[in-house]
């Protein structure tokens, strides 16, 4: 049985002296038996992460965690071109990115989410989009998908999980992605061991659901403990320490200049502060 649920939560976003009311997030939730499919549905904005969308993802994963009938979660994006383009830079410039209602994406990016997450990466995943992919346990990616951590090109840091990349691939390869900001193909990430399956875009969701169904058919307690023990073998992130380290960067003149330059389609003028 498939149940379709649209999570639309109204939030008030303060932009200077203007209050925008009723900014509805775009996150769809489908129940396919024991599998929950969570879809970022902002194709007109490259599925970028603004505060309402991050709130929607948080509420969806909170729902999945509390529902004992959900055995696995599939995370994907709407359309066939972009999984998630990362942080919405317009929202960043307006200062509304932090106006998140509920747990936000941290419910599965900043902790070990108890249930398996399969990323159905239907297209480009860069910046925060790549970090969402890294929060997934298994990845099925479209042949056309591109991945990257371009934060350094905007004077920012991939502090939402991107710096944990060395836990998933060899350090020199992680440093290449993190320090150059250059994109790589799904096939290349498959060679690095990060992507489980590389398939035509039309097969991304079906293959991800097939993996999810295989997992959901197993003992739920055994699955959850196996995941916890395997992930526990990796070093846990010190999020408080990370937050203290990156805060000056996100509040810097360079961070704002990087976003402005992107919006204005020009090279940034870095000042180093």
In the chain, the domains with their CATH numbers are 2-201+220-264 (3.90.226.10)
CA distances to 82, 98, 132, 141, 173 from 198, in Å: 15, 34, 18, 5, 19
| pLDDT recorded at residue 197 | 98
| pLDDT recorded at residue 246 | 63
- Three-state DSSP class for 59? helix
CB-based contact 228:114 (threshold 8 Å): yes
Catalytic residue among 131, 143, 253, 264: 131
CB-based contact 206:74 (threshold 8 Å): no
| pLDDT recorded at residue 98 | 63
The DSSP line for 156-208 is ---TTTGGGGGGTS-HHHHHHHHHH---EEHHHHHHHT--SEEE-GGGHHHHH
Told to judge if 151 belongs to the known catalytic residues of this protein, a careful annotator would answer yes
Question: Which residues, other chains included, contact 31 with Cβ-Cβ below 8 Å and sequence gap of 6+?
Answer: 1, 2, 3, 5, 37, 70
Containing 224, the helix (H) or strand (E) segment is: helix 220-232
| pLDDT recorded at residue 14 | 28
Catalytic residue among 44, 62, 151, 264: 151
Told to judge if 264 belongs to the known catalytic residues of this protein, a careful annotator would answer no
| pLDDT recorded at residue 231 | 85
At residue 103's C-alpha, the angle toward residues 99 and 205, to 5°, is: 105
In this prediction the pTM is 0.79
CB-based contact 92:136 (threshold 8 Å): no
Show pLDDT as tens, one digit a residue, over the chain (273 residues): 444 544 444 333 222 222 223 334 589 999 999 999 999 999 999 999 998 999 999 999 999 999 999 999 999 999 999 999 998 877 666 665 566 888 999 999 999 999 999 999 999 999 999 999 999 999 999 999 999 999 999 888 898 899 999 999 999 999 999 999 999 999 999 999 999 999 999 999 999 999 999 999 998 888 998 888 888 766 555 656 666 766 777 788 878 888 888 888 898 887 767
| pLDDT recorded at residue 271 | 75
């Amino acid at each position: 049985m498939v149940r379709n649920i649209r999570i639309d939560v109204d939030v008030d976003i303060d932009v200077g002296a203007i209050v925008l009311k009723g900014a509805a997030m775009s996150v769809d939730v489908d129940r396919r038996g024991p599998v929950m499919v969570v879809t970022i549905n902002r194709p007109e904005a490259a599925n970028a992460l603004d505060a309402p969308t991050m709130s929607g993802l948080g509420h969806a994963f909170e729902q999945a965690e509390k529902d004992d009938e959900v055995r696995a979660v599939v995370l994907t994006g709407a359309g066939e071109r972009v999984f998630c383009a990362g942080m919405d830079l317009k929202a960043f410039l307006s200062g509304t990115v932090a106006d998140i209602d509920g747990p936000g994406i941290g419910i599965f990016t900043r902790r070990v989410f108890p249930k398996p997450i399969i990323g159905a990466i239907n297209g480009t995943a860069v910046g925060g989009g790549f970090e969402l992919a890294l929060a997934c346990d298994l990845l099925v990616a479209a042949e056309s998908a591109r991945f990257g951590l371009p934060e350094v090109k905007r004077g920012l840091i991939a502090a939402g999980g991107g710096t944990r990349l060395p836990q998933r691939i060899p350090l020199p390869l992680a440093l290449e992605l993190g320090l150059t900001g250059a994109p790589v193909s799904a096939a290349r990430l498959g060679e690095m061991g990060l992507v489980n399956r590389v398939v035509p875009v039309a097969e991304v969701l079906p293959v991800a659901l097939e993996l999810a169904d295989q997992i959901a058919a197993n003992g739920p307690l055994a699955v959850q403990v196996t995941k916890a023990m395997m992930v526990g073998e990796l070093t846990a992130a010190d999020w408080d320490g990370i937050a203290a380290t990156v805060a000056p960067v996100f509040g810097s003149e360079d961070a704002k200049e990087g976003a402005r330059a992107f919006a204005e389609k020009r090279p940034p003028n870095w000042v180093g502060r």
